[in-house]
């Protein structure tokens, strides 16, 4: 039996091929050579078939964008031009490169199955290292081309449809967190309106200003009494009468008793939005609890979860029948925190008052690195000893000195002060020998390591008591 005729086409039958192009007249050959060879294999009949089906058209668009981007990314990688100096490839939408499993931006390393289906690294353990499309085990096959696409792709901000003009690298969400066009949600109970923060303020003024039970007007820098019925609601919403800023006071019941109270500002995190401070107080007949804090900016209220910072804890004995009555005062910057910010030269201080607590975090280290370090350190201790009030505490945190070195430095300062005031032995005999500082305690929870048979830590925090 003779063997079957051999197929003259030596190309692999696994990959589908486009039909050969129709013959080109000799007059048009020169024009064809100038055109891009990238799409020369596509015939006119195929273009008409693709235009008939809209779904196929969208898929073809995605494939074309991806192919062009991969080619450009690979040319940059192998030609030798660094990604930091070359301009990134711009995509019309960031959703083109989203992970098909979690629908979030792809994050490297990116893995693929033998059929080419990709999965980002965070999703790999979630799908038990199996392809979510064809259920084939995913090994250690990396999709290097897609990783290069991600590294060299720029996408518009997701809030571009609302007016944002920023373009960022794909997967970089730093801008979106502080974008002034981020969407905010109306905090009024049973309202689901979403828009820009100025739009939310205008919506609240138009739709909820009549409902004083759910939207309370207030004025900046003016204390105001309000109450929350914990049996009916867990929040109180305020709106400034002139500027329109919206403030939310939320309550969280703890499982072991008591209530935590937080204050938030419905606004984006962008630098152009003002920073607000708040003084929150629980007033009783014989007890007052007060919290001065910078108001945290949020875009929408979260689920009921116990806060970890910046909250006022109210014990059960200060509550009466689930009725919480409090005082609030909101102002700009640090006006309502009870803090006074200032700048002073520690080596030549102009402060005339003394403090019960003085904390140093790195200042002594910086002085020690100065060329005139020994002289500057003497000036430092003379100045600090005047700032700490008798009975006050000095806390020093250092990365360049160990606990023993800080103790030795304080001891040297005490000896120097004793020598300047007179004979040490005569003062000790009279019982008036009181060194300026004495060791009080130190932090023992820093991570430790062993070197040369000695155990130490990279940071030392020591507290000294001013006599």
Q: Is residue 327 part of a domain?
A: yes
Q: How far apart are CA 92 and CA 249, in angstroms?
A: 40
Question: What value does the mean pLDDT take over residues 322-329?
Answer: 90
The predicted pLDDT at position 431 comes to 42
The predicted pLDDT at position 248 comes to 95
Q: In Å, how far are 116, 403, 463 from 408, measured between CA atoms? A: 66, 9, 13
Domain boundary among 154, 177, 200: 177
Closest CA to 221 of 244, 202, 240: 240
Q: How far apart are CA 445 and CA 92, in angstroms?
A: 51
User: CB neighbours (10 Å) of residue 139?
Assistant: 11
User: CB neighbours (10 Å) of residue 361?
Assistant: 13
Domain boundary among 160, 177, 194: 177
Q: Is residue 44 part of a domain?
A: no
Domain boundary among 153, 177, 201: 177
Q: Which comes out higher in pLDDT, residue 199 or 87? A: 199
Q: Does residue 236 register a pLDDT over 90?
A: yes
Q: Which comes out higher in pLDDT, residue 374 or 320? A: 374
Structural domain tally of the chain? 3
Q: In the 8-state DSSP scheme, what is residue 10?
A: -
Convert the pLDDT of each residue in 375-398 to its tens digit: 899 899 999 998 999 999 999 999
Helix (H, G, I), strand (E, B) or coil at 132: coil
Q: Are residues 125 and 263 in the same domain?
A: no
Query: Please, are residues 127 and 116 in contact by the beta-carbon 8 Å criterion?
Result: no
Do you know the residue count of the chain?
Answer: 467
Q: Are residues 118 and 56 in the same domain?
A: yes
Q: Are residues 165 and 301 in the same domain?
A: no
The predicted pLDDT at position 359 comes to 93
Helix (H, G, I), strand (E, B) or coil at 130: strand
Question: What value does the mean pLDDT take over residues 129-149?
Answer: 81
Q: Is residue 41 part of a domain?
A: no
Handedness of CA 379, 381, 384, 389 (dihedral sign): negative
Q: Is residue 11 part of a domain?
A: no
Q: Is residue 405 part of a domain?
A: yes
Q: Does residue 439 register a pLDDT over 60?
A: yes
Q: Are residues 65 and 204 in the same domain?
A: no
Q: Find the CATH number of the domain harbouring 408.
A: 3.40.50.150
Q: Is residue 22 part of a domain?
A: no
Q: Find the CATH number of the domain harbouring 55.
A: 3.30.40.10
Phi, psi dihedrals of residue 313, rounded to the nearest 5°: -95, 130
The predicted pLDDT at position 443 comes to 92
Q: Which comes out higher in pLDDT, residue 336 or 313? A: 313
The predicted pLDDT at position 4 comes to 56
Q: Does residue 28 register a pLDDT over 60?
A: no
> Quick one: pLDDT band at residue 286, thresholds 50, 70, 90?
confident
pTM of the model: 0.56
Helix (H, G, I), strand (E, B) or coil at 244: coil
Q: How far apart are CA 66 and CA 89, in angstroms?
A: 11
Handedness of CA 318, 324, 327, 331 (dihedral sign): positive
CA 35 to chain centre: 48
Q: Are residues 90 and 192 in the same domain?
A: no
Closest CA to 292 of 235, 240, 340: 340
Question: What value does the mean pLDDT take over residues 268-291?
Answer: 88
Q: Find the CATH number of the domain harbouring 225.
A: 2.60.210.10
The predicted pLDDT at position 72 comes to 44
Q: Is residue 170 part of a domain?
A: yes
Lowest mean per-residue pLDDT among 73-77, 156-160, 239-243, 262-266: 73-77
User: CB neighbours (10 Å) of residue 71?
Assistant: 14
459: domain range? 346-423+432-466
Helix (H, G, I), strand (E, B) or coil at 84: coil
Residues 6+ apart with CB under 8 A from 94: 105, 155, 156, 158, 170
Q: Is residue 99 part of a domain?
A: yes
Q: Does residue 15 register a pLDDT over 50?
A: no
Q: Are residues 170 and 188 in the same domain?
A: no
Q: Are residues 58 and 138 in the same domain?
A: yes
Residues 6+ apart with CB under 8 A from 91: 65, 69, 97, 153, 154, 155, 170
């Amino acid at each position: 039996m003779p063997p079957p005729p051999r197929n003259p086409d030596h190309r692999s039958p696994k990959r589908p091929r486009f039909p050969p192009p129709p013959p080109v007249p000799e007059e048009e050959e020169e024009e064809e050579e100038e055109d891009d060879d990238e799409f020369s294999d596509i015939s006119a009949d195929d273009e008409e078939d693709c235009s008939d089906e809209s779904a196929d058209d969208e898929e073809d668009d995605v494939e074309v964008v991806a192919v062009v981007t991969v080619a450009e990314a690979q040319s940059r990688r192998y030609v030798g031009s660094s990604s930091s100096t070359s301009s990134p490839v711009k995509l019309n939408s960031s959703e083109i490169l989203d992970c098909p499993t979690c629908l979030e931006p792809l994050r490297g390393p990116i893995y693929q199955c033998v059929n080419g289906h990709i999965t980002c690294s965070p999703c790999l353990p979630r799908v038990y290292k199996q392809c979510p499309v064809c259920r084939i085990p995913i090994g250690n096959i990396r999709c290097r081309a897609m990783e290069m696409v991600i590294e060299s792709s720029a996408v518009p901000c997701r809030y571009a449809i609302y007016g944002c003009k920023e373009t960022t690298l794909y997967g970089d969400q730093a801008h979106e967190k502080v974008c002034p066009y981020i969407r905010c949600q109306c905090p009024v109970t049973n309202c689901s309106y979403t828009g820009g923060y100025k739009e939310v303020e205008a919506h609240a003024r138009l739709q909820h200003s009549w409902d004083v039970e759910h939207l309370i007007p207030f004025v900046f820098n003016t204390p105001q009494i309000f109450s929350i019925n914990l049996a009916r609601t867990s929040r109180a919403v305020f709106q400034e009468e002139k500027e329109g800023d919206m403030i939310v006071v939320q309550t969280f019941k703890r499982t072991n008793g008591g209530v935590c109270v937080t204050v938030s500002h419905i606004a984006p995190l962008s630098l152009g939005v003002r920073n607000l401070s708040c003084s929150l107080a629980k007033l009783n007949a014989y007890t007052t609890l007060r919290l001065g804090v910078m108001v945290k900016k949020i875009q929408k209220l979260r689920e009921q979860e116990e806060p970890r910072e910046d909250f006022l804890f109210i014990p059960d004995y200060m509550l009466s029948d689930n009725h919480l009555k409090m005082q609030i005062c909101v102002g700009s910057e640090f006006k309502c925190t009870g803090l006074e910010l200032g700048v002073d030269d520690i080596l030549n201080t102009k402060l005339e008052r003394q403090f019960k607590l003085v904390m140093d975090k790195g200042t002594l280290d910086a002085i020690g690195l100065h060329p005139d370090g020994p002289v500057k350190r003497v000036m430092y201790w003379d100045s600090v000893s005047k700032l700490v009030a008798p009975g006050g505490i000095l806390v020093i945190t250092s990365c360049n000195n160990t606990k023993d070195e800080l103790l030795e430095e304080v001891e040297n300062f005490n000896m120097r002060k004793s020598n300047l005031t007179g004979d040490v032995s005569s003062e000790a005999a009279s019982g008036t020998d009181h060194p300026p500082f004495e060791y009080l305690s130190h932090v023992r929870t820093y991570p430790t390591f062993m070197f040369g048979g000695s155990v130490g830590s990279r940071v030392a925090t020591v507290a000294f008591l001013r006599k």
